[in-house]
Amino acid sequence: MQPFSTDPGRTGRTPGGEGPQAGTTPGADGSARELRLGGLRILPGRIAPPAQAALLEDIREVVRQAPLFTPETARGRRMSVKMTAAGRFGWISDRRGYRYEPRHPAGTDWPPIPLALTDLWHAVVPSAKDPECCLVNFYGEAARMGLHQDRDEADLTQPVLSVSLGDAALFRIGGAERGGRTQSVWLNSGDVVVLEGDGRLAYHGIDRIRFGSSALLEGGGRINLTLRVVR
Identify the CATH number of the domain in which residue 192 sits: 2.60.120.590
Number of domains making up the chain: 1
**pLDDT for the residue numbered 4:** 55
**pLDDT for the residue numbered 220:** 95
In angstroms, rounded to a whole number, what is the distance separating the alpha carbons of residues 153 and 187?
A: 25
Query: Shortest CA distance to 91 belongs to which of 74, 77, 105, 81?
Result: 105
**pLDDT for the residue numbered 146:** 80
| Residue 134 is assigned to a structural domain of this protein | yes
Give the β-pairing of 35-37 and 40-43.
Answer: antiparallel
**pLDDT for the residue numbered 80:** 93
* Contact (Cβ atoms closer than 8 angstroms) between residue 111 and residue 86: yes
| Residue 16 is assigned to a structural domain of this protein | no
| Chain Cα centroid distance, residue 144 | 12
Residue ranges making up the domain that contains 199: 28-228
In angstroms, rounded to a whole number, what is the distance separating the alpha carbons of residues 24 and 49?
A: 18
pTM reported for the whole predicted model = 0.86
For each of the chain's 231 residues, which pLDDT tens digit applies?
Answer: 355 544 434 344 434 444 444 334 344 444 568 899 888 999 999 999 999 999 999 999 999 999 999 988 878 788 899 999 999 999 888 888 788 999 999 999 999 999 999 999 999 999 999 999 999 999 999 999 888 888 889 898 999 999 999 999 999 999 888 888 899 999 999 999 999 998 989 998 999 999 999 999 989 999 999 999 999
**pLDDT for the residue numbered 3:** 59
User: Cβ contacts of residue 189 below 8 Å, gap of 6+?
Assistant: 12, 13, 14, 49, 52, 164, 165, 166, 167, 168, 214, 216
Q: What are phi and psi of 90, to 5 degrees?
A: -125, 155
Element (H, E) at 59: helix 49-65
* DSSP-derived secondary structure for 38-58: TTEEEETT-S-HHHHHHHHHH
DSSP 137: E
DSSP 120: H
